[in-house]
Each structure stands twice: as structure tokens, then as C-alpha cells.
Structure 1
């Protein structure tokens, strides 16, 4: 990566920078001319068109969110029905766990299921997870036992719900009947009403979340409450997956305008941070679109679902807000740039098309001249695109060049050739290189090729077929890098001399990419032919310099 100032030197240090400088100038001038002509010649869309568009987008996003949340409400009511019918006895923990585990299993958003009563008894069920975050059993927490001596009983159970271990823990100050979900459910107007808390800090996790709860009161008068805990980070993940347009933004915010950003655990050496900091001022989200959309909403009075118009830099846009149900006090915002609303309605006249064609032609001529000027120097830049039809030729050319800043060889996907066993460290090794490429200038991984360039194939990995191989690769990327970055990684799996080779092509990411493994997030970049891990301070400096 080079400093921005180097781009404007009379003679930058390397061919990449010089080529980038010249082509950037050509593209900037050409695009500027096209945008200026488009803005001056395109007709103004009617305000009612924008309002109708953003209202449809907001309603669509709200409906999709409700659809995704519906299974949570449905299973909460099912558990409540069981409780009313006397089918849940927290004293019989194995039997109760056997009933509640299937309720939780298909609900990844629900981090814990709780049953409590007004006498202070509580039974909590949650998923037990390994170092990679994968579920591997169950954890229960019980309070109010006669033999507890003020402590809570924690038990770990296998996937088949067999008891593995149990031990006593202290949670000073924890009283189930004083938690907001219990107090709220007890004060609800009726038993069949779902009470939803505002965001609050979970007592043991120390993270922000919301809880849905319902109550019932048996004939003995001892009020019972069933509750589902949801981390706000998981709710945010659902919202962020809702796409309203290619360049639009979907986000969560409070009535005062604070915007929710995902919670990141504190790294070693960092000062302690309060969990409520996940709600931040819109200016600190890093998104100008969100910042200006929220500002316009607040200027209009806030707490309204009326569409508002905003301006972010040179682009105008529209935003709509809907009170998220079932999360009281939280709003879901949808912001869409104006060009995406009016693009289909702009009246591109034949004259404008001719002018744009001329501008493009004028921009193409100097671009061709620049490319020809640097053509003899471009041999030093490794080939990044591998075509399915020219796979063998392209791979052989890359192998002949050898490893470098944008090319690396790996022998297998998961097999440790020394031990002849599958090894997680083998998978993490190539995932580390992939994140380093994405955090640098992009690059290509050839899996099934030894360090000295010999084609070994990935047959040692013992995949049943190429589709199973691709699926395994994609799952690893989703698990350890993140599904949001999968669009930047392309897998090509084809044979070379009867040996299957996997080409992993990684594009440069505009956002920092972290490798998640063993409850740790690591940041890598390329340094020559190697991948180097940066410290937290170095990551901050590198990201600021890179952007």
C-alpha cells in the first residue's frame, strides 16, 4: 500500500502508482463530464415518486423483519402454553431441558431461554459453544435450590442432553424477580401478551440485548414467567441482511438518533468499554448516508414514519423509519440514494446519449494511449483473473511466476500431510492468506500446489466431489471471515493433469477483514510473499492510512 501523497508526485515511485494516477485522472475527468451532463439534462423527479418509493422500501423492510422474527414469537407462545399446562418443572432439570432444547435449536437469534417464578426460582437454558463458536451441547443455570447456599448451579450437557459436569457459581446481586423482563411480564395487561423490553445490559454476558417474556399464574398464586433473550448484535445481523436497494442502508436507531453498531469484544490492552457504547452518535458510524438520514429525521421531529429527504455530500437521498416490532423503543431506518429512486424515470434524450458517447470516446483514446505507454512494464504485475475455459494455462502461468505479494501456494485444504489427519491449522493457514490478500491488493491462492510449484491436487482432502469441496470452502469463509465478504472471494475448482486444483481469487476489500478463530480476531496483510499479523495499534494506523 502506498501513501495518498505519492499519487500526486510528478514521478511516483512505481509503475502501479503511475498507472493508477493517470487512469484515475482520465476516469475522474470522464465521469465528471458525464455526471455534469446527466445532472444538467435529466428531468427532476416528482417528490411524490420519492415518497412512494421510500414508503414501499420501508414497509418491505419492516415486513421482512417481522417475517424473520415470527418464529421467535411463535415458539415463545408454545413454551408459555406448556408452562400453563403444567408441563415445565424446573426442579426436574433433565426432563425440562429435553423439552426446551428442541425449542431453542432452530432459533440462532435466541441466546437463552429462561423460566422463573415469583419465589426466586429460575431455570436458564442456552447453547454451549466451542472455541470456534460452533454449538456442541447445552448449558443450564438454576437458582433458588435448597442446597444452593445463595449460589447458582451451572450444568453442562452433551448434545444428547447427558450431564457432563456441574458446579456452583456466584452472581452477586442477581435476583430473577428484579430483572426487567420479569417485572415487565408481571405488569402486563394480560397473560397472553408478549412483553418486550427496551435494550438493556444482560447481567452475566455484559452485552446489550432485548428480552421477550410472558407470564402465567397457576392456582397456587406463584407467578411464572418464560423469557427469550436476544443479543442486539444478532438482531442487527438480521436487519443488515435486508436489502432495499444496491446502494441503500438499513440500520437500527433509538428515538434520540443514536445508531446501533455491532458490539466488539475488548481486545487485550484496550481500555474497558461500557456495553452501551454500541449505540453511538450517527457521526461515528462511518456512514455519511446514515448520519445525514438520521439528522433529517430528527429535524422533522423524530418518532415519525413520514419519509424525509437528506443530502450526503453530492448525493441526495430519502429515508424512512419504522418502529421495529417486537423491539419497543427501537426504530429501523432505510436510506436510499436519490439516483436509485429516479434512475428509471430520468428522460435520457437522444442528444444526451450522443454527447455521453462522445465523452466516453474522448476518454477512451487517452486511456488506450496510457495502457500502450505502460504495456512493456505491466509484465511485472501478476495475473489475477483465472478463466474457467483457460484454467490450466492460467494456473501454469501463475505457478511459473512463483509466490509473491499477490500469489501463494497451499498443498491442501484441510489435510495435514505430515500426520495424515485433518487439521484446523491447515484450514486457518489458507484463510489467513485470504484475509491478508483482501486487506492488501487482492491476490490468488492455489490450493493443491506445493511450495516449490508441484501440482499435488486436493485429492488428499478426501472430498466426495467438487461440489462438496466448494461447499466446504464457502462454509469456512462464512464461519471464519464472514458471509458479508463472500462476494469478494471466488472459487474455481478444476483438474490439471488429472489432479484437482482449487484457485481462490480474493478481491481487495474496502472494509477491514478479520480472521475469527478460537474466540480471537486477527488482522493480516501481505508483506512480500508472506502474511503478517498486525497489532491493534498497527491495525488502526494501517486502516486509517489505507482509507
Structure 2
């Protein structure tokens, strides 16, 4: 008997490759985990990861502000009316999930503020150089769709905050300045603000523009920041003011000068940093019986002269490192387990001949290819090479049916070639007396009945038709036989002989030796029936 051919389906190859990759990743994690890691290395990598995440978050904000400044200089922003400002700024605010507010004003008294709130936009606009504590707010669904309007008396000007007067001398500079901003609805909506100034071409009009970013939204969007409990993270601008990201400070106090902070740890951090020479080397400080690691590095973003300062306790650094290592390992192991379960379930489903095939099940078997339980045939009797009827092909179909019966059963599909091209049954239909599926099935059952008895055809053969790409395909389900089938055929001398076929790998093979046939039948049929 020929040796069984082993073949791997696409799913098997994909599974094996996935397992190899996951095992390699797990091995790499444990290899690097076995190497000695020092705390100064952890703070260095932490600070630079935070820098990368912050840059990715804030850099688009800077680019949006630069575009606003360029359009203002070129007089593309009409500051004389609220509808014109809404037409320019609402689409900008709608397109960015990170921008929470926009301020725009000039030295002629035009003042405009727009911020997002629950999928709507709230604006205020006025033309006056002095603030009289009254603000008229308008809520918009879209550019020209106003929802409501109301007035509010507030103590501080929401547009021209104190910082707006600091940089009037910078109108010829394209630098962007970052500062701590203020929320407009409640104190909890604290912002950091990027501002820039310019002068409209051919005029004496000086304008300022600012973009606000909610601190809470930014923190929740940065994965590295969420690894630590109460880290101290802030920016330091060129005026030595603190821009808080994750730190304690008095929200009602607008003065965030480095020498007027309320957070004792940040004060100690800045003092230690200056005492050590204000360079980017990492350093330690003792605070509340814990060792804290800190580092200050230049933060390059759109010509902004900023520094990024980070302080994290040593215990949190080590915990985060171990957490990352073992969580990633656990996730990879879980993925490996899930993939293994899915693979073997698919495999179990594939090798178990059951009820009639559905179209999706047939497509799945086609993806996996021919096997011990699945075989493809181009036609029942139409010879595609000779382009005519060839009744010898009918014998090939009967041979495959006997092989499935003598093995474990399976599916024989007619109308798809070995390359999985969908050929259909039209040529076979046209070769019969009636050109339809019913007569095709009747003819096929007559062939099976003549070869193996009508009783066998009725009990062990199930035939159904599936349409794929508008072409009918015949699917024959052959159940595992209760007794052996021998195929009667004629040899070269015209003498009738019997042959015995079984499934071997993805083909039907003859067992020629009488001794082998008897041994096979004894194991396959007699032992099972007993």
C-alpha cells in the first residue's frame, strides 16, 4: 500500500508560524528580563517615552496654531463678525478631538472665544477694549445652526487672560508659547494653552490666537502616564512658569511661577535640579520616606522653548516595569491558547464528515484543500481536455465513492477542479437527456446503484447542490461504510475484475495484494462490527 501523503493547509501553516512568533516573543521577554536593569535606566526610558507621547499629542496642536497664524497674517480670517469666525473655527474644532477651545482677538477690541461641550459649540464675541463682567454666550449645533443664547456675569475675562499681554512684542516671531490656561465651564476643566501672535499684512492690526487642550483628556490619552500613581509631570516655559500636566497646584491661583508653587515635592524637585546644574542628567531625591527619580530634558515642539520635567517614585518605576513584562507575557500566552483552541476546533470540524455542507463550510474546506475526507472533481462525465463526453470519468467518481466508504467517509465535490476553479455542471447537464440538477442526481444515483446496489445508494449517499459564483456544484456526502465495497471493472483483456480502494492522504489508492486487503478488512470492518 502506498505511503500516506502529508500536506499542510494554509490554516495549519498560519497557526504554526503564529505559534513560533509568539514563543519567540515570550522567550525574548524572559531573556531581557533576566538581564540586570538599573533604576536610572528605567527613569531615562520612562521620560523619553512620555516625551514621545506628549510630542505626538501636542505637535498637531502646534501645526494647527501655525496655520491659524498664517491665515490671520494673510487676512483670511474675518474678525469683524461672529458668523465669519464660526465658519472658520467650528470645522477646525470639529475635526480635532484634542482641541477643546480656541481664542482669537486683536488690538482693535475684537474678541472671540469658542469651545466644545457635549457635541455642541459655545461661542462669545464682542468688540470692546474693556471687560464689563458680562458675557453673551451662544450655543451652536453647527456653523449656521444656533441652539440657544444666554448671558453670564463673571469676574475674569475668559478671552484676554493676563498672559495675553505678555507677548505683544512677539508679533514678528512665529514662535509658539505654552502656558497654563483656564476652563470656561468649571474649574475641573483645566487646560494648557498654546498661543501665538501676528500682524495682518499691510495694516497695523495685531492679533492673538490661542488653542486650549484639556489636561484630563490629554492624560487619559497617554498610556505611559497611566502606568504610575501620582507622578509629577510638567513643562517649564521660557519665563520659568510651570505648565502642569500631572501635579498638585492651586487651580484658583493663576500664578504658576516656579518660586510660588504649592506642591512641596515639585518645589523640592526643582530645587534639587537647579542645585545639580540644571542639566538633563537623572537624579534622586528623598521625599516622605521614599526615593524619587527625576529628570528634566529639552522638549522640542514647533520652536517652543520648553523643558519636560518628570518625577516618579522608585517603587512605581520598578512596579511598572514588572507589570509591563508579565502582563505582556500573560497576554501573549492567552492569545496562544485562544489560537490553539480555535485551530483545533476548526480542525476537528474539518475532519468529521457530518450533515450536508453549507456554502460557507464548502468555502472553508476549499481554503484548507483536498484531504483524506475531501476531494474535488471537475465533472461527472465531461472531458475538459477532449471537450466531449468521456464515460471513463464516471468510473473515477465511483472509485472515489468506494474509497471514502472503505475509509472514514467524506465529501466528493463535482464541478470544481484541482486548482479550485469553479467550473459548474452545465457541461454535464448538457450531456444528459434532461438539462437540470434533478436528472443529474438521478443519473448519478443510477451509477452508484449499478455499482454497489440501490440500497447502498439510498442509505449511505447524500447528494445536494450548492451555488457558488452563479454556478451549481454537486456535493456528495459518503458515510463511513458498514461493509467493504469492491469496484467491478474490466481489464485490458476484457475480463471483469474487482478492485479495492481506500483513501490515502488526499487521493484514492488501490490495495492490490489480496493479503493486504484481508488484513485491512479485518481491522477496518470486522473489528468495528464486532
Which bin holds the TM-score, normalised by the shorter protein? 0.3 to 0.5
With structure 2 as the length reference, what TM-score do the two structures score? 0.42
With structure 1 as the length reference, what TM-score do the two structures score? 0.41
Query: Of the two, which has the highest radius of gyration?
Result: 2
